[in-house]
Amino acid sequence: MSIFAAGLGLQTTDGNGNVLEVYFHKAFVRTEQNASAVDDFVKIAGWFYSGGNKTICLAPYQIDKLIEAFSEHTGTVTFLEGARDAHERMVVTILETDEAPQSVAEAYLKLTLLSSRAIQPHGQSLDGIFAVLPNVAWTNEGVVSLDELPARQLSARANGGVLHVYAVDKFPPMADHVVPSGVRIGDASRVRFGAHLGEGTTVMHEGFVNFNAGTKGAGMIEGRISAGVMVGANSDLGGGCSTMGTLSGGNNVVISVGEECLIGANAGTGIPLGDRCTIEAGLYLTAGSKVSILDENGVETSNVKASELAGKSDLLFRRNSQSGKIECVTNKTAIQLNEELHANNWQTQSTCKKVP
């Protein structure tokens, strides 16, 4: 039997048994390297699994089998032993095929695969995910059903505390489920679960990254990466800038930003950018924008829609301060990020020197 993906997680339910979220400690896309781990999940699910896409609640004896199967993985064993008393919440989700998610567990497994870098955005089916996920309250005490929220808030007040509601949304912050290596995030609430952040990415406090979107490598994100948009390595999105999401305003083109690009503060793009492109601050470039093409002498050679320049590299887009026209000239200067400022892998350094 060929399996697409599998995960081991803990589910949270409301008082009626409805699943609100699933935290996946382990999530795999089946490859040659991890085939044995995925096969162990299927094997331990036993006769409860006969194929298809399914989530199985584990019995205590199955948890013991998992502890045995993953004995060399200290973190997984600790997770399993700690959750043994809550075995009714522990699940294995198995996806035989990559289809639109049909349950909360399937949706959360796919979001986990994105944020843990096991799969790239647009690399799996997420059709209908909004209909599957419940709208819930994300609080300092975890996820709470909106039907149960007033009672929980009253209970907290009656006991001298406060139930802080950080968000009411279908998606939790990514960092509550996955923190990928080598990233900095100024405000974790602004990176949605299902975002894909490449090694070396910095998301500043005003930056925002939606699900099924993100970066392919190091980058500085002070603007908005909308759903479905991927940003190439070593690119810089300035404060307040934006990338137009797929289907935004009727757009059916997948927007992307190439490597070593700069989108200036309060600027934006509604077309895919190639490598080493720059959009000056305050200029929002849409597919229908009229653009004057200038030669090396600054002479206009043609006038085209911005969509005709989609994906082309080494372009600088600016607005003529006198005529108001959008102009495009060849940009030979690549954007270089400050390597020291954006190095996110901390290393121990001694500040003491030995006295001779």
pLDDT per position as a tens digit, 233-247: 999 999 999 999 865
On the question of pLDDT at 334 being above 60, the answer is no
pLDDT of residue 344: 65
- 3-state class (DSSP) for residue 66: helix
- The one-letter code for the residue type at 268 is G
Rounded Cα–Cα distance for residues 268 and 201 (Å): 19
The mean predicted confidence, pLDDT, of the chain is 90
What is the percent of the chain where pLDDT is above 70? 91
> Rounded mean pLDDT of 304-315?
94
What's the average model confidence in pLDDT over 283-292?
A: 95
Most confident of 1-5, 125-129, 351-355: 125-129
- pLDDT for the residue 337: 54
Tokens read off for 291: 């653009």
Strands 19-29 and 90-95: unpaired
Taking CB atoms within 8 Å and a gap of at least 24, the contacts of 146-153 are 147/14, 148/14, 148/15
Q: Is the pLDDT of residue 351 over 70?
A: no
Q: How confident is the model at residue 354 (pLDDT cuts 50, 70, 90)?
A: very low
pLDDT of residue 201: 97
Q: Which residue has the higher pLDDT, 81 or 347?
A: 81
Rounded mean pLDDT of 92-105? 96
**Confidence at residue 18, expressed as pLDDT on a 0 to 100 scale:** 96
- Quickly count: other Cβ atoms within 10 Å of residue 16's Cβ: 8
Per DSSP, 56 falls in state E
Could you tell me which residue, 250 or 162, shows the higher pLDDT? 162
Q: Model confidence at 202, in pLDDT bands (50, 70, 90)?
A: very high
Q: Which domains does the chain have, with CATH numbers?
A: 5-133 (3.30.70.2010), 138-169 (no CATH), 174-330 (2.160.10.10)
SS3 139: strand
Please identify which of the residues 21, 106, 222, 260 carries the catalytic annotation: 222
> Which pLDDT band holds residue 249 (cuts at 50, 70, 90)?
very low
User: Mean pLDDT across the stretch 283-296?
Assistant: 93
Tell me what pLDDT residue 87 has: 76
Average pLDDT for residues 76-101, to the nearest whole number? 88
- pLDDT at position 36 over 60: yes
Residue 38 pLDDT more than 90? no
If you average pLDDT over residues 297-309, what whole number do you get? 91
Is the pLDDT confidence value at 46 over 90?
no
**Mean predicted confidence (pLDDT) in 292-297:** 88
Q: Which amino acid is it at 350?
A: S
Gap between the Cα atoms of 82 and 66, Å rounded: 13
Q: Which of 78, 74, 47 is nearest to 62 (CA)?
A: 47
Give the pLDDT score at 348: 46
pLDDT at 342: 53
* DSSP letter assigned to residue 109: H
Confidence of residue 333 (pLDDT cuts 50, 70, 90): low
pLDDT higher than 90, residue 346: no
**Residues 271, 311: Cα–Cα separation, whole Å:** 8
Residue with tokens 């298809």: 52
Supply the pLDDT for residue 158: 97
**Sign of the dihedral defined by the CA atoms of residues 298, 302, 304, 308, in that order:** negative
Residue 300 known to be catalytic: no
**pLDDT of 356:** 46
Q: Determine the average pLDDT of the residues in 11-16.
A: 96
Sign of the CA dihedral 140, 228, 110, 15?
positive
Burial degree of 101 (CB within 10 A; 0-12, 13-18, 19+): buried
Residue 151 confidence (pLDDT) above 60: yes
Spatial contact of 112 and 21, defined as CB atoms under 8 Å apart: no
Q: What is the DSSP string of 282-312?
A: T-EE-TT-EEEEE-TTS-EEEEEEGGGGTT-
pLDDT of 341 above 90: no
Res 34: pLDDT = 86
pLDDT at 216 over 60: yes
Q: Comparing C-alpha atoms, which of 226, 215, 217, 219 is closest to residue 202? A: 219
